[in-house]
């Protein structure tokens, strides 16, 4: 029975889906001839494929964000109130920040109008974001063609069981994360994060809730408050013995105190602040245990592969799906079931689903409006709110 109803929904969706901006090939993609601007990740190895990245024609006076308050205590579920907003003066990121965006084409104003129409005809919009929304902030995603972690490296994200079962593994993990942290923590939200924060602030009657699969807390830095960080946040650590949580910035100071002088020239950053270190470097590193109970193992407040999202968090979000009158997915392949399930739930209820994602997604057949090959920031730049 379940299969039949899913097929029926898929047929409905297929008959109404409009694919916007699709192109038969990416031959129109123009190249960035020189990406000389220094970014937090200027030493990243995977920049070789930058030549296939579409150019931003006018990158005029991008003003750096003046102040981003540190996300010291980010609640992973529901309201986050302690992080002040940051503002942007430009809709276009610096070219160097586009090096992790896969090949794409320019968005046009018709696309933006159609997206605006989708958003502004809703009274309870649920928004789901993934790693793709943060590539324009300089963080690689996993599955992007050419520039994502899976395309550029044999390294795979940490498995929960590895972290739990091996002290050597934890030493390796924290040594690498310690080096990568300052760059990761300094990353700025881009205009897509800002768009969603502004939408919430200016149109609280439209945006019901935002759920992100990202752990970078860039939505929180941008000022979003009605937000659930589905997979937690890298900005907190938790003791696996007593449950005590500590801001990641404080834990960094503890690690620094234990490892004075531990540093690496030109680290190569991956998602989640991971960097490459040699075995000799790792062997010197000392891991700090829980500051409260004194001996507990500290783990990032992140749901890792092989670990389940807490049921209460999932149930809360299913309620939001049930309550919403439309789902907007941005920058996620939805390959991970954790996020995909919300799209299937919305489709079961015949709710309109708009997907903005450069590459294909697992829920394309469920979408009623689809923007492919365009990057979020470009499309949203002309969506007036
Ligand atoms: N920034 C982060 O916190 C981060 C980074 C990597 C992975 N993750 C985790 O890994 C999982 C990966 O799943 P996922 O679906 O989020 O990522 P994914 O890598 O599977 O998919 C990202 C998708 O975004 C698209 N994309 C990339 N840049 C884009 C842009 N600027 N505009 C539009 N589309 C763009 C790509 O085509 C790709 O299909 C998530 O559950 C997440 O927790 C988090
Ligand atoms: Zn403890």
Confidence at 120, pLDDT banded by 50, 70, 90: very high
Let me know if residue 262 belongs to a domain.
yes
Q: Which domain holds residue 278?
A: 2-58+71-381
Q: Is residue 211 within 8 Å of residue 77, measured between CB atoms?
A: no
Q: How many domains, the chain?
A: 1
pLDDT score for 42? 23
Q: Is residue 70 within 8 Å of residue 248, measured between CB atoms?
A: no
Which single residue is written with the structure tokens 């007593």?
242
Q: Which residues of 273-299 are buried (b: 16+ CB within 10 A; e: fewer)?
A: bbbbbeeebeeebebbebeeeeebebb
pLDDT score for 158? 78
- pTM higher than 0.85, yes or no? no
Q: Is residue 126 within 8 Å of residue 208, measured between CB atoms?
A: yes
Give the closest ligand to the alpha carbon of residue 238: 2
Q: Is 293 annotated as a binding residue?
A: yes
Q: Is 324 annotated as a binding residue?
A: no
Q: Is 242 annotated as a binding residue?
A: yes
Average pLDDT over residues 260-287: 77
Let me know if residue 63 belongs to a domain.
no
Query: How much of the chain, in percent, has pLDDT values that exceed 70?
Result: 73
Task: For residue 240, give every residue at least 6 positions away whose Cβ sits within 8 Å of its Cβ, in sequence order, or none.
Answer: 164, 296, 297, 298, 299
pLDDT score for 378? 96
Residue 1 pLDDT greater than 90, yes or no: no
**Cα–Cα distance between 323 and 182 in angstroms, integer?**
39
Most confident listed range (41-50, 87-96, 281-290, 351-360): 351-360
Residue to mutate (ligand 1; options 93, 137, 141; most atoms within 8 A of CB): 141
Annotated catalytic residues are: 231
| Exposed / middle / buried, residue 75 (Cβ in 10 Å: 0-12, 13-18, 19+) | middle
Domain of residue 16, CATH code? 3.40.50.1220
Let me know if residue 295 belongs to a domain.
yes
Residue 3 pLDDT greater than 50, yes or no: no
Let me know if residue 66 belongs to a domain.
no
Residue 269 pLDDT greater than 90, yes or no: no
Using the mean position of ligand 1's atoms as its centre, give its distance from the Cα of residue 68 in Å: 23
Strand order in the sheet with 369-372: 18-20, 369-372, 353-357, 326-330, 125-129, 207-212, 227-229
pLDDT score for 305? 87
What pLDDT digit, counting tens, does each position of 221-234 carry? 999 999 999 999 99
Binding site membership of 375 for ligand 1 (Cβ less than 6 Å): yes
Residue 59 pLDDT greater than 70, yes or no: no
User: Mean pLDDT across the chain, nearest whole number?
Assistant: 78
**31's tokens:** 């190249």
Task: Name which residue sits closest to atom 27 of ligand 1, judged by CA.
Answer: 132
What pLDDT digit, counting tens, does each position of 302-343 carry? 999 889 999 999 999 999 999 999 999 999 999 999 999 999
């Amino acid at each position: 029975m379940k299969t039949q109803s899913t097929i029926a929904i898929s047929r409905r969706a297929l008959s109404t889906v409009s694919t916007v901006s699709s192109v038969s090939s990416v031959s129109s993609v123009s190249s960035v001839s020189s990406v000389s601007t220094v970014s937090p990740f200027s030493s990243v190895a995977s920049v070789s494929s930058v030549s296939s990245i579409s150019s931003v024609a006018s990158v005029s006076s991008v003003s750096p964000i003046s102040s981003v308050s540190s996300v010291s205590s980010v609640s992973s579920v529901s309201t986050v109130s302690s992080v002040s907003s940051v503002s942007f003066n430009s809709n276009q990121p610096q070219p160097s920040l586009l090096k992790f965006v896969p090949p794409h084409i320019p968005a046009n104003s018709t696309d933006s109008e159609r997206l605006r129409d989708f958003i502004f005809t809703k009274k309870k919009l649920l928004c789901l974001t993934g790693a793709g929304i943060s590539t324009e902030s300089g963080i690689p995603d996993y599955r992007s063609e050419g520039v994502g972690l899976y395309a550029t490296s044999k390294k795979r994200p940490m498995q929960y069981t590895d972290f739990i079962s091996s002290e050597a593994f934890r030493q390796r993990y924290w040594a690498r994360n310690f080096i990568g942290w300052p760059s990761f923590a300094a990353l700025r939200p881009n205009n897509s994060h800002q768009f969603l924060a502004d939408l919430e602030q200016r149109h609280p009657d439209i945006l019901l809730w935002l759920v992100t699969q990202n752990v970078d807390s860039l939505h929180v830095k941008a000022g979003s408050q009605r937000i659930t960080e589905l997979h937690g946040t890298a900005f907190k650590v938790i003791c696996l013995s007593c449950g005590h949580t500590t801001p990641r910035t404080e834990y960094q100071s503890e690690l620094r105190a234990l490892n004075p002088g531990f540093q690496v020239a030109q680290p190569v950053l991956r998602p989640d602040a991971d960097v490459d270190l040699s075995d000799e470097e790792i062997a010197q590193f000392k891991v700090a245990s829980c500051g409260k109970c004194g001996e507990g193992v500290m783990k990032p407040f992140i749901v890792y592969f092989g670990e389940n999202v807490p049921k209460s968090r999932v149930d809360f979000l299913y309620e939001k799906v049930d309550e919403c009158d439309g789902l907007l997915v941005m920058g996620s392949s939805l390959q991970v079931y954790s996020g995909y399930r919300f799209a299937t739930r919305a489709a079961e209820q015949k709710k309109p689903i708009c997907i903005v994602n450069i590459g294909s997604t697992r829920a394309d057949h469920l979408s009623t409006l689809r923007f492919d090959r365009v990057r979020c920031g470009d499309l949203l730049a002309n969506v007036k709110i």
